[in-house]
Amino acid sequence: MLTDYIDPGLVLRFVINIVAMTLLVFGLFYLRYRDKELVTAASLFNIFAFGVLSILGSVEFSLAAGFGLFAILALFTLRSEQISKIEITYFFGSVAIAVICSIQGTTLPFVVVVVGMVLLGAYVFDHPRILKSVDGIKITLDKIDPDALSNPTKMRTDLSSRLGVQVMSYQIVALNYITDMAQINVFYRK
């Protein structure tokens, strides 16, 4: 019978994991940033990590193998496109929830409290009322002004006039001199 093979505690941990991940990724991140790609990646990565960690928690597993697993995960970040600090933070939060929920040596009330603290922290510290004066946007310029790139003040002024906002700072993510394009993260005051 299938119930002979299913641990009810593991199923409950998975439910807690899914609820917490949904609140973090869909309830907080997606509502604030509307980034479908990261939501999909973080959600699936959470489920995959929960599965892998649940299996690893039920077998003899060495510390060296654990470091090897994290080394493999690090390769994914090296081979992936660059993502913002906010995106990587929510992504890590999704993975952290999977880790917290899949560790078998903890009690379920303790798991619920820790996951609750993670969600509360994300809600409070990334709340729009706390950081309401500055926002960010990713833009692509189809013409690179070489003088503006070497002169940050001129570049900020140019971006402010193009966007109609007060640009506080910017970060050049990619330059392509062949197509004469620049990808830039712009942080501005409303």
Model pLDDT for residues 11-34, shown as the tens digit of each residue = 899 999 999 999 999 998 888 888
DSSP state of 81: P
93 against 75, higher pLDDT: 93
No. of helices (H) and no. of strands (E), the chain: 8, 3
Whether the per-residue pLDDT at 130 is higher than 70: the answer is yes
User: Which backbone phi and psi does 134 adopt, to 5 degrees?
Assistant: -130, 140
* Residue indicated by tokens 């807690």: 16
pLDDT for res 17: 93
Burial of 20 by CB count in 10 Å (0-12 exposed, 13-18 middle, 19+ buried)? buried
pLDDT in tens, 144-186: 777 767 888 888 888 888 888 988 888 888 888 888 888 888 8
- Count of CB atoms situated within 10 Å of the CB of 159: 21
Q: Identity (one letter) of the amino acid at 132?
A: K
Percent pLDDT > 90 in the chain is 14
Q: Express the helix, strand and coil content of the chain in percent, nearest 5 each.
A: 65, 15, 20
Question: Helix or strand or coil: residue 185?
Answer: strand
Enumerate the H helices of 58-170 as residue ranges. 63-79, 85-102, 108-125, 146-150, 152-163
Name the nearest CA neighbour of 46 among 7, 17, 10. Answer: 17
Prediction pTM value: 0.64
Look at residue 21 in the predicted model and tell me its pLDDT.
Answer: 93
Closest CA to 96 of 73, 75, 79, 80: 73
Domain boundaries, the chain: 2-125, 134-189
